[in-house]
Amino acid sequence: MGERIVLEFGMFETLLLAVIGIYLGDFLRKKFPFLVKYCLPSAVVGGTIISIITMILYYAGIMEPNFDFKTVNTLFYCLFFAASGAAASLALLKQGGKLVIIFAVLAALLAACQNAVAIGVGNAIGVHPLISMMTGSIPMTGGHGNAASFAPIAVDAGQPAAMEVAIAAATFGLIAGSLIGGPYGNFLVKKFGFEDPELDNSSNTIMDTAKEVFMNKGQMLSAVNMLVLACGIGQLFFLALKQTGANIPIHVCCMLGGILVRLFLDKTGKVNESLLEAIDTVGDFSLALFVSMSIVSMKLWQLADLGPQLLVLLAAQVVLILIFTYFLTFRLLGKNYDAAVMAVGHLGFGTGAVPVSMTTMKTVCDKYRYSKLAFFVVPVIGGFISNLSNALIITKFLDIAMKMGAGM
């Protein structure tokens, strides 16, 4: 077998694959109703198939793809978060305050449980604590970014496989969250009878099924301009905060920019349903492209290096997050439709990525109804607060893992 050709996919080629993935997912959802029934997003369905194809080409010795997508993906990510911020009216900000606090505590508690389970299960099956930590909240709640940041600590401590395990575990989490989130949300809605908003008296979700909203060219242009403006404001916040030593993610700053734009629009009385629908449409477009690009660019063959012991550790994480979000997140956030959608969101970023949260939540909402509360609360926690609390928790558990490892 000859040497694999390293095929470079530039920004536009990666965008092309991402759009093909979305169209392919849309086509398959129309052909196979169970994909819609169980709320599997188009971007996830199509993107996963393209990733599987590239994996087959890799194992066939034909080619290894390299994707240039980070810059354009950051743009769409930030546009989506700006749109999420622009959807938050002053009334929603007040309403979501209490839930943000509860959710922040739950996110921190889940991260601690993930690390405790990783070390506990790892110890039971004979995996070094520092390696088992690479399947806990580092790649799960933290995602690929935390995997790349914290794995070198374990490498320096004498565990050279830590980086490979952490990245592969983060990839596993991204796939697991994408495939489980929608069906899980569908299960919650069905089990507790939230299909009919009339039966869900405790929900704060506002639904308007009687009115169709029409957008014109001017409103779409205004929406795009406002979201770009929000991203610009977010970048200014990001640079200013960086000077103070605060490491706040750029997408969180863009969400803040979107909130400020919305507050200004509310103050000047320029908000109308058509403009909000246009903003939401741009946000949906940006999210779909981001998720599709993230999935089509995954290197699934990295998961093949995970041995049986690591698969046991990762399976334990999936079981943990399902139990946690069902018995704690869903119930403590209100045990209503909004809480069900937020539980889906928690499962998404608890397995490694806020975009997974947003796309699975959106697919559930597309089938049933929109939850403004969930789309405000989840990005604030998953995109910002949990990053801070998770870093502190990881540091503490790494100390524990090092002490345990020293005694082995």
Domain coordinates in residue numbering, the chain: 76-406
The CA angle 103-108-112, to the nearest 5 degrees, is 145
> Contact at 8 Å (CB) between 49 and 24?
yes
DSSP state of 305: G
- pLDDT value of residue 209: 41
With H, G, I as helix, E, B as strand and everything else as coil, classify residue 9.
strand
What is d(CA 165, CA 159) in angstroms, rounded to the nearest whole number? 10
Decide: 342 and 377 in contact? Cβ < 8 Å. yes
Q: Are 287 and 360 in contact, with CB atoms under 8 Å apart?
A: no
Cα 239 to the center of its chain, rounded Å: 24
Written as tens digits, the pLDDT of the chain (408 aa) is: 558 898 999 999 999 999 999 999 999 999 999 999 999 999 999 999 999 999 999 999 999 999 988 888 889 989 988 998 888 777 777 777 889 899 999 999 999 999 999 999 999 999 999 999 999 999 999 888 788 889 999 999 999 989 889 988 988 998 899 999 999 999 999 999 998 765 554 554 444 443 466 778 888 999 999 999 999 999 999 999 889 887 777 888 898 899 899 989 888 887 788 888 899 899 989 988 988 998 898 888 877 667 889 999 999 999 999 999 999 999 999 999 999 999 999 999 999 778 889 889 999 999 999 898 898 888 878 767 887 799 899 999 999 999 998 766
Count the alpha carbons within 13 Å of 5 in the hemisphere toward its beta carbon.
Answer: 7
What is d(CA 99, CA 357) in angstroms, rounded to the nearest whole number?
17
**pLDDT score for 82:** 92
Cβ–Cβ under 8 Å, residues 150 and 142: yes
Query: Phi and psi of 346, rounded to 5°?
Result: -65, -40
Task: Enter the DSSP assignment of 382.
Answer: I
Q: Which residues of 83-102 are buried (b: 16+ CB within 10 A; e: fewer)?
A: bbbbbbbeebeebbeebbeb
Helices (H) and strands (E) in the chain, counts: 17, 2
Q: What pLDDT does 230 receive?
A: 96
Q: Any residues with CB less than 8 A from the CB of 328 and at least 6 apart, and which?
A: 106, 109
Give pLDDT, residue 203: 52
Whose tokens are 């937020």? That residue is 342
The CB density around residue 7, as the number of other CB atoms within 10 Å, is 14
Whole-number pLDDT of residue 206:
43
Residues near 3 by Cβ (< 8 Å), separated by ≥ 6? 61
C-alpha distance across the termini of the chain, in Å? 42
The first and second tokens of residue 327, run together, are 């018995």
138: which 2 tokens?
């580092």
What secondary structure letter does DSSP report for 210? S
Strand-pair partners of 343? none
Please name which of 128, 120, 104, 136 lies closest in space to residue 332, comparing C-alpha atoms. Answer: 104
